[in-house]
Amino acid sequence: MSSCSPMSCSPVVHMSVTFCEFQYLSGHLHSVTFPSSSAFSALVEMEGREDKSYWIGLTDQNIEGDFVWVDEMPLDKQKTFWAKRDHDHGQEPDNWIEESISPGEDCVHLQKSKIYSGWYDAGCEMQKKRICEAPCSVHG
């Protein structure tokens, strides 16, 4: 398992966990702050059929619709990557609720889908891979 600490590189961790499990493991989820983010670019450019859904460090667990990063910085609404849903082309975030399964969607993941790629809100209890910030290694 990869351990993550707050730094500037963004490795992808392929073991799936819930949003809360990752926070409990003392990880620091990646904060996507600009469109050319290497993590965002790498995910969008991926090919293949495997799951391409990764937690990022964004949530509205405290106040619905008020998204903040796990470092408590508010989301800059001018710098977002909300996706559209494939099945109806509706806009995320949608806080979809299914009475028997989910209390709502309060955690955000980056996903490459068949038609659209970007941020989707999801139930924090879902299992997803994650993008975390970790120390950069210097080669030379």
Angle, CA 110 vertex, CA 27 and CA 17 arms, to 5°: 40
pTM of this prediction?
0.69
Question: In this structure, which amino acid lies at residue 24?
Answer: Y
Q: State residue 66's pLDDT score.
A: 94
Q: Output the tens digit of pLDDT for each of the chain's 140 residues.
A: 333 333 344 555 556 767 666 555 545 555 655 444 555 556 555 555 566 788 888 899 999 999 998 888 999 988 888 988 888 888 899 887 665 556 789 999 888 777 778 899 999 888 888 776 655 554 44
Q: Where are the domains of the chain?
A: 14-72+101-131
Residue from 116, 125, 110 nearest 29 by CA? 110
In eight-state DSSP terms, residue 102 is B
User: Does residue 77 sit in helix, strand or coil?
Assistant: coil
Q: State residue 128's pLDDT score.
A: 86
Look at the domain 14-72+101-131 and name its fold: Mannose-Binding Protein A; Chain A (3.10.100)
